[in-house]
Every structure is written in C-alpha cells, then in structure tokens.
C-alpha cells in the first residue's frame, strides 16, 4: 500500500515535473517584407522557460531553435568530363527540400540532442538528406554542401544565450537571396538529449511594394508585362538618343 | 547599393548593373552589335540565374539597339527594306529557338548548348573578321595594290526572287537574307543574343553590303528579333526581370550613344579588327570554362522546373 502511494506520488509529481517546463517564446517580427532594398535581415528569437516547480536537478536545460523556409522541388546535376569538356551528365530529383534551414543551439549539438530525438523531431538537416541509395547520396551531400556555402543551410552551435536555464535569445540571419513563403520557427527544450517541450511559430516572408507588384504582374499578366518591358526599353532607347541629340556633341 | 531583384530573387549591386549595361551599350553603339553576347555571360557571372539572364538580356538589347539605330538613322545608314527581309526570317527562327530552348532546359543541357554555340560561332566569326580586316588594312596601306571590285558576283547572286535594296546598292535574291535572318533569330532565342556579331559579318561577306549601312541595318533588325524574344520569354517562362532590365537599360542607352559617336571617328577596318578581337576574347573565355575542371561538379536548380 505504501509502495502504491509512493508510486502514485512519483507519477503525479515526479514525471510531470519534466513536462512542466514550458516554452514561452516570441519573434522580433512576425513577417519579413522583401522590398527593393532588401539585403538580408536578422530575426531575433527570444523567450523564457515557464515552470511551476524549481529547476530540476541533473542534466542542464538546452535550447535548440530551427528556422525552416518553404519547401521547393530541387534538381541536382553533376558535371562529368565527356570528350574533353565538362557537361551535365547525371541528375537527381531531390524532391521537396527546404529552401532555407538554420539550426541554433545553446550548447554543442551532440550534447543538446540525442540522435533518436533528432530523428523523431527532424531537427537537423543531414538525416533528412540521407538515402539508402548509394548512387544518390553524393547528390544529396552536394546539395547540403552548396546550400551551406550559400548561407541557405546553417548550423550555429552555442549561439543561443541561455540565462539561468530560463531566459534565452538568439539572432538568426536570413540571407539576401531569400525565397518567399512561410517560414517555420521551432523552439525545443531538451534535457539529456531528449526533447522536453516544443513550440512552433510562423514567420511570413513576402515580397512587398514594387517587388510584389512586379512579381505578380510577371506571373498574372505575362503578355502585358512583356510588352511593358519593351515599352520601357523603347522609351529609354529613344529618350537617350533624343537627349544626346540635344546636347549636339 | 544592394537591390533585390523580384524575378531573379537575388540581391545584387545596382551600380554594378548600371556599369555592365553602360559598357555593353558602348560596345553596342560602336560596333552595331546588340551586345547580348557580352551581357548574358556577364549576368551569369554576377549570379543571375541563366534563364533570367537570357530573357532579361534580350530586353536590354532592345533598348540599346533602339538607341543605336536612332543614332545611325541620322547618318541615313539604315536599309529598311533589307532589315524587313531579315526580320521576316528572324521571327520564324526565333519561334523555333524558343521551343528548342525549352526542350534543352528540361534536359539540363541548355548551358552546354549555349556555351558550345558561343565558342563555335564567336570563334569562327571572330577569326574570319580578324583575317579579313587585317588584310583590308594592309591593302589600304599599300597604295599600289590592285583595288578589289566593289561587287563581286558569287553564288548568292544567282538565286531567284531578286529584289532591289537601294540603300545598300544591291540587287540580290531575298533567299539568303531570309535564311540568315532565320538562323540569327534562332540563336537569339537560344543564346539570349541579338545575333549582331554574326549578322554584321554575314551582311558584309555573304550579302556584300557596304559596311556603312551594315551597322544601322543590323541594329534595326535586332530590335524586332529581340523584342519578339523578350515577349515570348515573358509569356512562356516569366523570366524577364523588369528591375534588372531597367538598370541595365539605364546604363546601356547612355553607353550606346557614346559608342555611336566614337564609332564615327574610327575607320571601318579598325572597327572590324576591334570587334573581331572582342569576339575572340569572349570566345576564349567561354571555351576556358568548358575545358577547365570545375571547382564544384554539382549544380542545383530549384523551384518550378521548366
């Protein structure tokens, strides 16, 4: 009987205590407008850990934040030397992959996240870009490599400032070559590599102003847009000629 | 000043774009070539996606050609009739070219095809022009040398459907200009070029037109071929970037005016030697890229696939 009560108490108090660490988080902005002068931006992700009980003993709390851009179909091609010149010889349709993916952590990734939790929650990118097919793997590796060089895929270890296991904040850099769409920001709390709590926020990335107008026009009124492009060319060509003729030079 | 391009979806330096437009426009006005064969590789180089570079490049060529042709018009150096015949062929060739471009894009070989075309056509045309103009220059320095006849009758003159081209002082069949026009229209669509660098020598050597008229007529024809190509690309693949075009045009039209004025001061042979050297330089550059082992063997194409 006493054992049963103890077990009950343990279940009632002990286990939920872990789950009782909740994330309260926000973004510095809920949307990013791509305007003509857009040259990359920074998103501040900040928050706190809400808990009713004292900070649990044992493994320290870690925070992992991911920012994922909209998925796009991607085609990876490989060049080979054929008759002395380099041509696109082989390709792989990698299917839908994120146009942007950043992971930030408050501790080295291998301490903050166990491989099992990574697989279950899909936190880092490499497991998603792994295939059984040995012929396809080099293409996916190349995708990861090139996009990492472009700044589209990034891992920032130890960049989240975590104070007193409670307050956290970090800046995520969005590149200048940004794809439009909904960006998902996920915040994970982990202890001992296991995920304690998870939260999602959406960041809207939209072309705005002139950019929006031109993009819409090009897609919805393609013919008119093409003719407008010609008109601009004609007016500019004629205008320059007329102005220079005035100058009599 | 960084500027985000709405269609290309990259952020680039606006001043650099105006500069590229200006340089290309200058050469365009100087030589009577649209400058597409320069602008497309330059846009690749600064990171504009190839499909956008080809389509937007052709829009820029429209502007610099208009600017150039107006300058030539004052010198009465445009043969409208010849231009119209070349244009007729050009529109047919351009339609075929756009179709081929789409097929090649899907097969992933459009870059290769464009590069090979550059090497082949620029190489052949450049060498021919260089050799001919050097010989012409040498001849003009030797006053005692026999003067070549102005009108050499070749197989071109034996064809039916003859027509008078008064401004050019020619009476020839319409078939050769039609075929040349079609061929150049095709290249224009596939390579994002106006085709002036082939048109100019073709007019001089194949049709026997006087150099004085060639530049204006070539530009006149290029306006329409590239205009057609621009609209076709805008409709079929939405790859014309107006923001990019605007900056290139701004530099281009001004450059073309300067070019046309400098061109008047140079002699025809000198002009042709310079053009030949420029063409060969671009050819060598493209060939180099094809042969050199690339740093990265893989490339990524994202988004809606053609």
pLDDT tens digit string along B246-260? 999 888 888 878 887
Could you give the 3-state DSSP secondary structure of residue A8?
Answer: helix
> Are A216 and A104 in a shared domain?
no
User: Which of B22, B63, B94 is the best substitution to test chain A (most A C-beta atoms within 10 A)?
Assistant: B63
B190 closest CA partner among B282, B102, B301, B108: B102
Contact B216, B28 (CB under 8 A): no
Inside any domain, residue A14: no
Two tokens, residue B146: 């026999």
Contacts of A75 in chain B (CB under 8 A): 108, 300-302, 305
Q: Is the dihedral of CA A229, A235, A237, A243 positive or negative?
A: negative
The partner residue sitting opposite B294, judged by closest CB among A79, A142, A178, is A79
Q: Cα-flanking dihedrals φ and ψ of residue A122, to 5°?
A: 60, 55
Inside any domain, residue A170: yes
With bands split at pLDDT 50, 70 and 90, how would you rate the model's confidence at A110? confident
Around Cβ A169, how many Cβ atoms within 10 Å? 18
Does the pLDDT value for residue B240 go beyond 80?
Answer: yes
C-alpha A103/C-alpha A106 separation (Å) is 10
C-alpha B222/C-alpha B125 separation (Å) is 18
C-alpha B1/C-alpha A37 separation (Å) is 8
Contact partners, residue B104, CB within 8 Å, separation at least 6 = B110, B113, B190
Mean pLDDT of chain A: 84
Contact partners, residue A226, CB within 8 Å, separation at least 6 = B230, B231, B232, B233, B234, B235, B240
Could you give the 3-state DSSP secondary structure of residue B173?
Answer: strand
> Are A53 and A93 in a shared domain?
yes
The partner residue sitting opposite A218, judged by closest CB among B7, B246, B297, is B7
C-alpha A186/C-alpha A125 separation (Å) is 14
User: Which of B1, B11, B104, B224 is the best substitution to test chain A (most A C-beta atoms within 10 A)?
Assistant: B11
C-alpha B236/C-alpha B245 separation (Å) is 18
Contact A226 B7 (CB under 8 A): no
How many angstroms separate the CA of residue A169 from the nearest CA in chain B?
28
Could you give the 3-state DSSP secondary structure of residue B304?
Answer: coil
> Are A121 and A234 in a shared domain?
no
More confident residue, B4 or B111: B4
The three-point CA angle B295-B301-B306 to 5° equals: 140
DSSP assignment of A181-224 equals EEEEEEEEEEETTEEEEEEEEEEEEEE-HHHHHHHHHHHHSHHH
Q: Which helix (H) or strand (E) holds B297?
A: none
Contacts of A234 in chain B (CB under 8 A): 62-63, 66
Contacts of A178 in chain B (CB under 8 A): 9
> Are A106 and A186 in a shared domain?
yes
Contact A175, A152 (CB under 8 A): yes
Inside any domain, residue A70: yes
Q: Say if pTM beats, i.e. exceeds, 0.90.
A: no
B21 closest CA partner among B2, B3, B40, B7: B40
Inside any domain, residue A86: yes
> Are A201 and A216 in a shared domain?
no
Give the count of domains, chain A: 2
The three-point CA angle A33-A36-A42 to 5° equals: 45
> Are A108 and A227 in a shared domain?
no
Does the pLDDT value for residue A123 go beyond 70?
Answer: yes
Does the pLDDT value for residue B151 go beyond 90?
Answer: no
Contacts of B293 in chain A (CB under 8 A): 81, 86
Q: What average pLDDT does this structure show over A165-184?
A: 88
Inside any domain, residue A183: yes
> Are A149 and A222 in a shared domain?
no
Residue A46 CA from chain centroid, whole number: 16
C-alpha B297/C-alpha B112 separation (Å) is 14
- What DSSP state is assigned to residue A139? H
B286 closest CA partner among B52, B123, B106: B123
> Are A141 and A70 in a shared domain?
yes
Q: So what's the pLDDT on residue B146?
A: 52
> Are A128 and A247 in a shared domain?
no
User: Helix, strand, coil proportions of chain A in percent (round to 5)?
Assistant: 35, 40, 25
**Per mean pLDDT, which range of A12-16, B41-45, B290-294 is the poorest?**
A12-16
Residue with tokens 């920074």: A42
Q: Cα-flanking dihedrals φ and ψ of residue B3, to 5°?
A: -135, 135
Contact partners, residue B124, CB within 8 Å, separation at least 6 = none
How many angstroms separate the CA of residue B69 from the nearest CA in chain A?
9
Burial of A85 (0-12, 13-18, 19+ CB in 10 A): middle
Could you give the 3-state DSSP secondary structure of residue A170?
Answer: strand
Does the pLDDT value for residue B170 go beyond 50?
Answer: yes
More confident residue, A26 or B29: A26
Contact B108 A210 (CB under 8 A): no
> Are A45 and A110 in a shared domain?
yes
Contact B234 A80 (CB under 8 A): no
Inside any domain, residue A13: no
How many angstroms separate the CA of residue A115 from the nearest CA in chain B?
28
Could you give the 3-state DSSP secondary structure of residue A56?
Answer: coil
Q: So what's the pLDDT on residue B153?
A: 56
Two tokens, residue A19: 């789950």
Contacts of A179 in chain B (CB under 8 A): 9, 302
C-alpha B197/C-alpha A188 separation (Å) is 60
pLDDT tens digit string along A187-203? 999 988 889 899 999 99
Contact A230 B298 (CB under 8 A): no
pLDDT tens digit string along A134-143? 788 888 888 8
State the SS3 of A80-100.
EEECCEEEEEEEEEEEEEECC
C-alpha A126/C-alpha A121 separation (Å) is 13
Under 8 Å CB pairs connecting chains A and B tally to: 196
The partner residue sitting opposite A88, judged by closest CB among B112, B246, B250, is B112
Quote the percentage of chain B above a pLDDT of 70: 90
In chain B, the residue whose alpha carbon lies closest to the alpha carbon of A177 is B10
Contacts of B71 in chain A (CB under 8 A): 241, 244
> Are A95 and A215 in a shared domain?
no
Q: Which helix (H) or strand (E) holds A245?
A: helix A222-247
Residue A86 CA from chain centroid, whole number: 33
Inside any domain, residue A158: yes
Helix axes B110-117, B80-107, angle to 10 degrees: 140
pLDDT tens digit string along A61-105? 899 999 998 988 888 888 888 887 887 778 888 778 888 999 999
In chain B, the residue whose alpha carbon lies closest to the alpha carbon of A139 is B298
Domain that holds residue A233: 208-249
> Are A196 and A116 in a shared domain?
yes
Contact B249 A74 (CB under 8 A): no
The partner residue sitting opposite A241, judged by closest CB among B71, B242, B291, is B71
The three-point CA angle A148-A153-A159 to 5° equals: 105
Contact B280, B109 (CB under 8 A): no
Inside any domain, residue A174: yes
With bands split at pLDDT 50, 70 and 90, how would you rate the model's confidence at B157? low
């Amino acid at each position: 009987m006493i054992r049963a009560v103890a077990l009950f108490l343990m279940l009632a108090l002990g286990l939920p205590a872990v789950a009782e660490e909740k994330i309260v988080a926000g973004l510095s902005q809920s949307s990013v407008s791509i305007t003509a002068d857009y040259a990359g931006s920074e998103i501040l992700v900040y928050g706190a850990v809400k808990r009713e009980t004292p900070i649990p003993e044992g493994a320290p709390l870690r925070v992992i934040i991911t920012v994922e851009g909209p998925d796009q179909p991607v085609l990876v091609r490989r060049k080979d030397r054929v008759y002395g010149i380099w041509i696109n010889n082989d390709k792989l349709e990698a299917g839908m992959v994120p146009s942007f993916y950043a992971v930030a952590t408050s501790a080295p990734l291998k301490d903050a996240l166990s491989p099992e939790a990574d697989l279950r929650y899909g936190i880092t990118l490499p497991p998603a870009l792994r295939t059984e097919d040995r012929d396809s793997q080099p293409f996916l590796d190349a995708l990861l490599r090139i996009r990492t060089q472009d700044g589209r895929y990034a891992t920032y270890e130890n960049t989240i400032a975590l104070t007193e296991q409670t307050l956290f904040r970090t800046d995520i850099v969005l590149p200048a070559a940004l794809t439009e769409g909904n960006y998902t920001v996920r915040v994970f709390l982990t202890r001992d590599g296991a995920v304690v709590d998870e939260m999602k926020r959406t960041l809207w990335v939209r072309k705005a102003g002139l950019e929006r107008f031109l993009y819409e026009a090009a897609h919805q009124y393609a013919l008119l847009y093409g003719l407008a492009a010609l008109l601009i060319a004609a007016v500019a060509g004629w205008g320059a000629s007329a102005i220079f003729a005035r100058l009599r030079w | 000043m960084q500027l985000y391009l709405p269609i290309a979806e990259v952020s680039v330096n606006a001043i650099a774009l105006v500069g590229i437009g200006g340089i290309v426009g200058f050469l365009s006005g100087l030589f009577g070539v649209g400058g597409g064969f320069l602008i497309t590789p330059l846009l690749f180089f600064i990171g504009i996606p190839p499909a956008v570079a080809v389509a937007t490049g052709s829009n820029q060529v429209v502007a610099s050609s208009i600017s150039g042709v107006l300058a030539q018009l004052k010198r009465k150096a445009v043969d409208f009739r010849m231009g119209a015949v070349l244009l007729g062929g050009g529109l047919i060739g351009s339609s075929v070219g756009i179709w081929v471009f789409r097929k090649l894009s899907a097969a992933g070989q459009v870059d290769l095809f464009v590069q090979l075309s550059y090497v082949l056509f620029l190489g052949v045309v450049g060498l021919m022009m260089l050799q001919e103009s050097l010989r012409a220059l040498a001849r003009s320095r030797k006053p005692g040398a026999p003067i070549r006849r102005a009108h050499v009758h070749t197989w071109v003159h034996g064809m039916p459907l003859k027509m008078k081209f008064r401004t050019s002082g020619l009476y020839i069949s319409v078939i050769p200009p039609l075929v040349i026009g079609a061929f150049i229209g095709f290249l224009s669509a596939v390579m994002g070029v106006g085709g002036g660098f082939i048109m100019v020598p073709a007019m001089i050597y194949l049709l026997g037109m006087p150099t004085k008229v060639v530049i204006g007529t070539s530009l006149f024809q290029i306006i329409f071929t590239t205009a057609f190509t621009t609209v076709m690309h805008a409709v079929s693949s939405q790859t014309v970037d107006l923001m990019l075009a605007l900056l290139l045009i701004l530099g281009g039209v001004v450059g073309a005016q300067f070019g046309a004025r400098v061109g008047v001061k140079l002699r025809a042979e000198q002009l042709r030697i310079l053009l030949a050297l420029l063409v060969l330089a671009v050819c060598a550059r493209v060939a180099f890229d094809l042969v050199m082992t690339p740093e990265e063997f893989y490339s990524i194409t994202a988004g809606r696939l053609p």
